[in-house]
Chain A
Amino acid sequence: MASQEIEALASALARLPGLGPRSARRAVLWLVKNRERALPQLVETLAAVQDTLVECETCFNVDTRNPCGICADPRRDAKSICVVEDVSDLWALDRARLFQGTYHVLGGRLSALDGVRPEDLTVGELLQRVEAGGVDEVVLAMNATLEGQTTAHYLAERLEAFPVKVTQLAHGLPVGGELDYLDEGTLAQALRARRPVD
């Protein structure tokens, strides 16, 4: 029987997506075996992330600096903004390096049933970015869910007041984590096939 502390670590790890109790136990065993090197390394990297983790004030990406690495990158095309629901969508899209512009993370999707209203999302901040000028195109990359598509409609209408081209992914993004399984070809196709919102 493991000590209380080891049990606590196992149950903390078990809550991580994709792990579960069995994998967590294996990870803990491995850490215990490699406690000389692996354990301090893990503790240090976790602590470093915890100390520096910030939300980007421009695009609401999560990074270790503000503005985030994407917003601060001079090679990025700041004239185009890709709007996504969650940070996970941003990471998945950006890992594929398909989009050369910058992002805007809404922090969710409109849902009357879940009580998520426009003011709960970073809609105001997006409109401010566009209003400040220098933006030519806003790409709406919402999920293919009903709530995602409603949110896209909502944003398209709010953006009508500004002289920007508003486009939308042909079919929306697959929901949440599923994006990770999409191959780059499919993502590239979704981006290429973006169309003006009617």
Chain B
Amino acid sequence: MANEVTLTIDGKTVRVPQGTLIVDAAKKIGIDVPVFCYHPKMEPVGMCRMCLVEVGRPVMDRATNQPVLEADGTPRIAFGAKLETACTTPVSEGMVVITQNQKVASARREVLEFLLTSHPLDCPICDKGGECPLQNLTMGYGPAESRFLFEEKMHLAKHVPLGELIYLDRERCIQCARCVRFQKDLVDDPVIGFYQRGRSLEIVTYSEPGFDSYFSGNTTDICPVGALTTADFRFGARPWELKPVASICTHCPVGCNLTFNVRREAASGGKLVIKRAMPRQNELVNEIWICDKGRFAYHFVESPQRLTQPLVRKNGELVPASWEEALEAAAQGLKQAGENLVVLAGGRLSNEDLFNLRKLADAQRGKAILYTHMGGGDLTQQVGLTPGSNLGSLGKGDAVLVIAADLHEEAPIWWMRLKAAAERGAVLVVAGARPTRLERYAAKVMRYRYGEELNIIQSLMDGAVPELSQAENLVVFYGAEGLDLLGTNALAQACATLLYRSGHYGRPNNGLVGVWKEGNAQGAWDMGFHTVGNYTRTLSEAAAVLIAAADPAGDDPLLAQALDRAGFVVVQELFLTETARRADVVFPAQSFAEREGTFTSGERRVQRFYPVIYPVPDCRADFVITAQVARKLGHALEMASPAKVFLQIASEISHYQGLTYPRLAEVEEQWPPVGRSDLYYGGTAYDNRQGMGVALPALCQQQGWQLPMFWNDRLPERTFELAAMNQQGMVWLVPFNRLYDRGTTVKPSQLLEKRMVSAHIALHPETARAVGLSGVEKVQVEGLDGPLPLVLDETLPQGVAFYPRSAGVPALAPRGVKLHAVKAEVQEG
């Protein structure tokens, strides 16, 4: 290839693309050039000077522009007087690089000696000790002893909170700026930086709260020393005591690959305890990053509030019962209900759980219903991303549309990857009713009023953004902001139509992605769950309801009432939720960390997770609970192991065909190398040895285009009339998503408490005036209990009232409501 160059490094010949840096070219052939400031995911800065190597270039004859040859016919090489930094120097044709000679060895030893002059050398009490690049490179290349007088060292603050999540040890910082550059360049949260100069340089935070970024934890992975540590892990354990276990984050549809580090602890009676959550490399999903929710919000797993035994209602009270008793009671109740059974499941269950739940519903001729406010999962199956897709490969010529979603809050790693795609040249179009963070990188922002989402899609079909319609590849992310179930269904349908009309489906890097609220919502659709138009009616009319991993009663008082009207209620849960409190039988379920299984991400990648800790005694996996109930009803469901359930999934569900646990556990070589012996290079993210998962095919690839086309020609202009609603004195009550909400699986992580969003109503000041709420501090939403604090925000659209989802406002999906002022006396009383 013309744009490749050939060079030799330590005598080995290597051919790499033009522009490759020497350090990476060397790494590709297994030659380690030690680095501190360089990171393969960031632009080089040449600050630490650790990577100095000897570089020679062929001498060119000026007249002929040909290399000058030695007597033996080899090109004459001229070596520079100075060593060069391998991290900033791009390769060139005929270059000769030497990384192993006395000169280079001395330079490395000398730079390390410099770094160590200011280093506290407190490895024995340092969290990084054992996985520290400085420690390792010193062992490899450093001086045996220092000539710097110990008493001449500077003493600096060692416990500087950069906020409540990340701590800085100023003595350990080697001023490599990896953290600063990550925050500025990769996630555009430049909230930390250097202050002062020279030896006084220090990392400071500029934000309130300190280090205000959803990605802050990643800096602790790439910090090459123990200067940055998380409040979650610091002084928690030594790295070498930790066992790594592969898992998947359940908090959002990205499905980031995680490694949980566990250790047996005497304080916990010798049980395995999770010490920290770390990113596990999957360049197709999360690369080497995770967001802080994934890193810090796992504590629900070990919460003391977990249910630990079955409960059965006796004389109106839920009382502890044996498994046998509870299973019997559940089976009796369900049997009596006959076909009028509703199985309601949440999208955080594994595929195996969902599959068995659906099988039970089928066997009883009941309904398997997904508890969600968002539709369209049947369409993402049809025209979702296909194998070979990778958001990390989107760039020039490709386009991405994001509509009705706030990815920074709902799926941070997707946000990060789409930002990068836009910076690589992909055309990013962001359509929303209000400003979101992703718009900063958008080639085009399309603003609409709630209810007019389809109009945007129609205009795109009409060619409003030719770079999008004519792009080589197009990925569409749709969310549910401001939309109810019917609205999202219509939006998904419209997006599918757009993709179909422009031919962007059925091939890699094309298709529809749902920005689900739950991590495995896509899996639930795949396992055969569906939505219904009216959850309240469906629940209230059911003779029996089996609910797993969903809390409708806690989300909405109307649903709570409906549940009260329902016949017999069985609940499989981690916690005693509002829904569980209303049940006749409650089964304590295992969390995802206590068992294995699979999740299907929003990009439709099926990924395995593994048992991390021992199960809470007497809890059972959801698929087992379901199968045991089913057995009592005379149905033989698989419960021997998740792997066996998965075999059934693979044989029954067409696009899962051919998948097996071993296949999901396959890995391929990834770039850049991270972890273990390469942690000086890529950081302490874990390398992936337990599986990168398998991307599902889109059904349209297998079966051709099967989508029902609802609209022959043009899409309806709007799904509802916001203006008309406003004229009646009503506002559209819209839940918005915040990463740190107070949901069941987030709240127990106390570390995030300060950053969790609180219940409130937000209005544009104009809207507040229009509905007579100017100067009011608290409002009452008609139909909901209790007053809520009112916040005015000029960036919001008008005619709409916002509240944070899963933060204590008991409403699930948008609706038209009236707002009333609450008098001061009332709130005091």
**Are A and B associated in one complex?**
no
Interface residues of B (CB under 8 A from A): none
- Where the two chains meet, the residues of A that have a C-beta atom closer than 8 Å to any C-beta of B are none
